[in-house]
Amino acid sequence: MAESPPVDKPIYAVAASATFRYPASVMDVSDLIELSENSAIEAFGPGDTVRVSAKVVEGERERTQVFEGVVIRRNNGGAGANFTVRRIAHGVGVERTFNLHSPRLENVKVMRQGKVRRSRIYYLRGLTGKAARIKERTRA
């Protein structure tokens, strides 16, 4: 039987600094799509309580479904921008993520502006009752 040579380093070892980067000339997806601002979407951020109206297709029927809750994160990523809304329904936390530039998104109305010091308020997932409340930002 032939013996395998001693292995000093792994064969697939790659230097940590050798990361692949796309050249600056590569086109972004947002260059292909013309993003228009939806006038029915108000300016909002994390901590705000919003009422989101989204179109839902059930079979051949299409209806508007309203989802009201606290924005726990917002991702501004050009064409892929989205935000997550959390609410408590029958004692169970429900989170729903919406695409900001989706044609299924009818409108977003800010019901209450919250005062938070984080952009991702995931800590609300572990809080219940009065502890999960967010102070209201005074409009000046």
- Average pLDDT rounded to a whole number, residues 55-77: 94
How many CB atoms are located within 10 Å of the residue 78 CB?
13
Q: Does domain 39-127 have CATH number 3.20.20.80?
A: no
pLDDT at 110 over 90: yes
Encode pLDDT of 12-61 as tens digits.
555 555 666 666 666 666 667 677 778 888 899 999 999 999 999 999 99
Give the predicted TM-score (pTM) of the model. 0.74
Give CA–CA dist 135/70, Å, rounded. 12
Q: Which of 72, 62, 73, 71 minimizes the C-alpha distance to 103?
A: 62
Give CA–CA dist 59/27, Å, rounded. 38
Question: DSSP H helical segments within 21-137, as ranges?
Answer: 29-32
Contact 70, 86 (CB under 8 A): yes
Give 45: exposed, middle or buried? Use CB within 10 Å, 0-12, 13-18, 19+.
middle
Domain ranges of the chain: 39-127
